[in-house]
Amino acid sequence: MIKEKPLTNNIRPGKPPLNVREYEMAGGYQGLRKAISSYEPEEITDLVVRSNLLGRGGGGFSAGRKWSLIPMGEKAPRTKYVIANTDEMEPGSFKDRYLIEGDPHQLVEGMIISGYAIQAEIGYIFLRKDYGRVAEKLQVAITEAYENHYLGRNIMGSGFNFKLSIHISAGRYICGEDTALLDALEGGRGIPRAKPPHTTTVGLWGKPTVVNNAETVCNIPHIVDKGVEWYRSLSHTDEGGTKIYGISGKVNRPGAWELPMGTTMREILEEHAGGMKQGFRFRGALPGGASSHFVTEEHLDTRMDFASMEKAGSRLGTGTIVLLDDSKCPVGMVLNLQQFFCRESCGWCTPCREGLPWIVRTLEAVEQGRGTREDIAMLQSHTSLLGTGNTFCALAPGAMFSLQSALSLFREDFEQHVDLERCPWKT
């Protein structure tokens, strides 16, 4: 069976992305044409619900169900907004860059169809500043889309009006959180908002807003163009579509690949990444970026979809695997992860603002051989003190996933640092 790769079909590594004509020749904007000529907006949402496309930013929430929370009809509050979250700053994640740089029109088309489905007037692609190369290519695609009446007033004669622009942010990981992202778009400090209300009813400027990860949006044209049944058949599991998986670390061919949703970590590691680099042994992995729990060898054959990874005690997250090998110290890796979260905390709520620096200082002590068994117990207690329900947003609980799982899976390594009074990896 030939595996279909709708999201990456047009990507030609090392070459510029398809322009609007080439994209059309490859079947591009057919999804939009079909959406506008054959479906009512609510029918598009229904297709996306039935496709079981789950949020690729790591949340795993049904994109269609999110859309269905948007008030529709003439009495719905206006303006409505649709936003592609391309803040991609989750350590270990590089899938959105690959997708958008490789095929910017696909994201543009996905945004227009998303806008049509919820009857939004305005769309933003929220891009981190460091993705300048992506911004250039996207801007060309947006300009071409306007010139060809895929954007603007009365799109393809349908009466649907939609404006799309890029917003280039100014740093900070927290701005990738849906509601902090809205603050950033409004020109303020990026601090998560209380939920409920959800952005779908009270979002940008207090209006109904859908925020979807860029990879999620890229799936939309294909669902509309080729149908729900085809889309679901792409997956190994109940969760629809393909997934952009990636691996970084000491493997022979680090990279990103579009594979059926539910591909195992072993297949990704051995077949696509060419296995471990010679001389290095697999010790563990974060399956989906920094905000996921370590898994070890016993989970190499677990299907990498949202439900299966959760059952395995971790998360699919962004689906980009960060691989720990035996040449690197697990305590050092966790320290690096916690330093990141500590620096990126917005400082709004106390457990995150005060707890993360405490964790970093304690981990530093342990890593440098100055730690005690009590320190390890203290770290353990923080994994629940900063856990889900005790903080304002998901940043600190996300940070605790790697710490908590490392304390259980690599306990001996932590204790060895205390007993030897040094890091065993340092001579």
Partner 1 sequence: MSTDEGGMMLSQEETREIVSEIRHALNKGSVAIEALKVIQKYRGWVPDDAIEEVAGLLDMTPAELDSRATFYSLIFRQPVGKHVILICDSVSCWLMGYEDIKKHLIERLGIGMGETTGDGKFTLLPAACLGACDEAPAMMLNETLYTNLTPSRVDEILAKY
End-to-end CA distance of the chain, in Å?
51
CA distances, 169 to each of 58, 182, 186, 251, 318 (Å): 20, 11, 11, 33, 21
- The Cβ of residue 73 has, within 10 Å, a number of other Cβ atoms equal to 7
Between 180 and 210, name the residue whose CB sits nearer to partner 1.
Answer: 180
Q: Tokens in use for 48?
A: 């996306």
Between 47 and 323, name the residue whose CB sits nearer to partner 1.
Answer: 323
To the nearest whole angstrom, how small is the minimum distance from the Cβ of residue 62 to partner 1? 26
Between 36 and 334, name the residue whose CB sits nearer to partner 1.
Answer: 334
Strands 122-127 and 163-168: parallel
To the nearest whole angstrom, how small is the minimum distance from the Cβ of residue 193 to partner 1? 15
CB 175 within 8 A of CB 169: yes
To the nearest whole angstrom, how small is the minimum distance from the Cβ of residue 230 to partner 1? 30
Beta bridge partners, 284, equal: 324
Between 11 and 20, name the residue whose CB sits nearer to partner 1.
Answer: 11
SS3 234: coil
Hunting for tokens 């227009």 — which residue is that? 112
Binding stretches for partner 1 (CB under 8 A):
88-94, 96-97, 128-133, 169-173, 184-190, 205, 246-250, 254-256, 286, 290, 320, 322-325, 328, 332-333, 336-337, 339-340, 343-344, 346
Q: What is the DSSP string of 98-158?
A: HHHHH-HHHHHHHHHHHHHHHT-SEEEEEE-TT-HHHHHHHHHHHHHHHHTTSSBSSGGGS
Between 96 and 375, name the residue whose CB sits nearer to partner 1.
Answer: 96
To the nearest whole angstrom, how small is the minimum distance from the Cβ of residue 122 to partner 1? 10
Burial of residue 185 (CB within 10 Å: 0-12, 13-18, 19+) is buried
Q: Is omega for the bond preceding 79 within 30 degrees of 0, making it cis?
A: yes
The DSSP H or E segment spanning 259 is strand 255-260
SS (H, E, C) 19-40: CHHHHHHCCCCHHHHHHHHHCC
To the nearest whole angstrom, how small is the minimum distance from the Cβ of residue 161 to partner 1? 17
Between 255 and 369, name the residue whose CB sits nearer to partner 1.
Answer: 255
Between 174 and 228, name the residue whose CB sits nearer to partner 1.
Answer: 174
314/297 Cα distance (integer angstroms): 13
To the nearest whole angstrom, how small is the minimum distance from the Cβ of residue 244 to partner 1? 12
To the nearest whole angstrom, how small is the minimum distance from the Cβ of residue 172 to partner 1? 6
Between 185 and 309, name the residue whose CB sits nearer to partner 1.
Answer: 185
To the nearest whole angstrom, how small is the minimum distance from the Cβ of residue 383 to partner 1? 18
To the nearest whole angstrom, how small is the minimum distance from the Cβ of residue 93 to partner 1? 7
Q: Tokens in use for 299?
A: 């989970």
Burial of residue 359 (CB within 10 Å: 0-12, 13-18, 19+) is buried
CB 229 within 8 A of CB 223: no
To the nearest whole angstrom, how small is the minimum distance from the Cβ of residue 411 to partner 1? 20
Between 246 and 262, name the residue whose CB sits nearer to partner 1.
Answer: 246
Between 83 and 89, name the residue whose CB sits nearer to partner 1.
Answer: 89
